Structures are given as structure tokens and as C-alpha cells.
Structure 1
């Protein structure tokens, strides 16, 4: 992380993907027409604040939980993951009703919320724990790969570096990391602006940016 970024966050009273004050959780999305069926999808898209916020309001999504995936350390803590050596990525487990939204639709949306041309992280969050991936089960793999090919064709396959990886165990993060954008809207908005998320997404995806 650059010294310029750290200084900017100090001025803004922010911290990159660090916990906020505990508060009430975000209200669940409206479940009108809920079929009662549940499936899960796991996405690593840089700071899990943003991935969680991007999925929570999507119709058909029941819950989005921040956590970690991809590494070898059991029950990892946030400090362990950002400290390095665990192999884990910050990730979000999305629980959804497949009768209302398909897995393919979720993956299609995910690409448009990240910069899949960055191999080292996302926006101002750089480092091993912030790299991107879709963790797909055996049943999900074909849909995830097809979605990736379609997205890569739009921006250039040689530039598209985010992989589809095999599903692994997901470990939820501490309670202080859940629902950050909902609980701390001013801090999150400042963080997002400072990292120029919207500007970069528009540069990559144009009007298709989510």
C-alpha cells in the first residue's frame, strides 16, 4: 500500500478494509416471491466491503458474508490474512435463491464490479490478500468459465487475469467486518471515492460497469 494512500486515509479518517464500529446488521433484501431454495457463490474481488455491498441489494440475493478463502490456514483472522502467509484472499460468500437469480447472472455481475485486468489487487488495495478470483464448485464451473470467456472477450482476453478457481472452504470474518458499507455509509463512500473505484470501473467497462 502506498504512503500516499495511507496519508489520504488518515486525512479522511478512513482505513483500508479495516473494521468499523460494531452496529446493527443490514436489513435483509426483500424476499418477495422467495422460493425457499438456497445456493451459495464465493467471490474474491479485493476489499470485501465493496464485494459485499455490491451483492447485498441484488434481487434474489439472501445474504452476503465477508470472509476469506483460498488459503491453508484454518479459522484465519483478519490480521493474519492481511499480514500475509495464509494464502487466503478476502472473499464474500453470497447466498441466493436460484429461482430468482441464476449463478451465471451473479458471475456476470461480479466481473463488472471489479477490474479484472489488475493482477496485484483492486484499486488502492494492493497485495496478495486483495487479488481477485471466482471460487466455483464442480457444478458451477462450466457457467463460471463461460461467463469469464464472455467478459474477457469484451475487454480483451490477454488483459483479463482474474481466474476461476476450484471451490474451497469459506471462513467468515469477524463480526466487526460484516455489513461495513451499510453501518458506515459516510466512511465507505469516502473510501470508495478516494480509491477512485467508479472512475476505474468506467475506464474498464464503460457503461456496463456495475
Structure 2
């Protein structure tokens, strides 16, 4: 393959990875909106759209394999392809988390802990993903470190949110007249909310993974990989 065509394929790979990230971010936003608005149509759109993300992942995985097998890249090109392969894996897993959010939305009938602001924490994690993809697109190592710093704040927020849910559950008075069904519903609501918090935190973790792979790609630095 001529060198020019090879370079074009590398650039196409970058563009396709960025496109996949846009699809994943759209699904995450839709899943969060479905939870906030208790919108069944939105929730089902997220769930049914997971196959598109899976197909994007498989197509890009094959592109990476082809570039590695047929071109035998070295140095910076090799790091770019390897990083891109790792990044699409994180994006695919974020797509799975978006599907989880859609499923939680279908189960949510009420807000039992309105003091826990899920959307606020989620906004920060989505900004982390956007920044991580910007760092990948622009090959910006400084953004990579900034994302890792923000993740500490997200972890703390998620921990506080989970503690609030558990504390309120402990303090909540359940009437003697409460039926077994009502108690089971409360426990299901608590479980769903804790899972939502956990999945939002995991989105942030995947953003850090993307930043770590980008830093390695740009500077051959594995400082953020763990």
C-alpha cells in the first residue's frame, strides 16, 4: 500500500474513533435524560441503540487489526493504533453503561432520594469523556493529566451520594403498616439508585483510561495507566 494511503487510513481511524465517541456520548445523555424525565421512549431508544455501538466497535477493531497486520507500523504509529484499539474498548463499555441507564429508567417510577443530584455528577463525567476525546484528537498531554485530577473529585462525589442514600435508608421510618411489597419497592429503588451512581462513576473511570492511553500514545508515557 502506498505511504500516502497508509497515512490516510490512520487519519480515518482517528476520525472514526471520534465519531464512535460522539455516538456513545449521545447515548449516555439520552439515558440520563430518560432517568430524569421517566421517559420510556428515550430509555428504549438507548437500549435498542446498543447494537450500533457494538457494530462500530467491531468495525474499528478490524481496522486496527488490519493496520497492525498489513502495515507493521513502528514507533508513534504503533502507539497510535494500539491506543485507538484500547480507547474503542472503553467506548464500547461506556455504551453498555448507557444501556444500563436506560434499563434503570424503565424500572424507576419515583424519586425516593431527591437530595441526591445524579445529573450534576453525570455532567462532570460526560465533560471528562469529551475532554479525553479532545486530548486524543489534538494529542494534548496536559488535558490527560487534568482529567485524572477531576476523576478524584468525581469519586468523592459518588461516594458522598452513595453514603447519603444508605444513611437516609437507615434513618427512614418504615411504618408497621407498611406492606412487604412497599418495603421491597423501597429496596429496589435504593438498589437502582446505587447502581446508577456506580455506573456514572465508571464512566469517569473510562474517561481516565482514554486519557491514559492518549498520554502513552503522544509521549510514550505510561504514568496514568493503572
**Interval of TM-score (by shorter of Structure 1 and Structure 2):** under 0.3
Higher strand share: 1
Structure with a larger share of its residues in helix: 2
Q: Bigger radius of gyration, 1 or 2?
A: 2
TM-score, with structure 1 as normaliser: 0.24
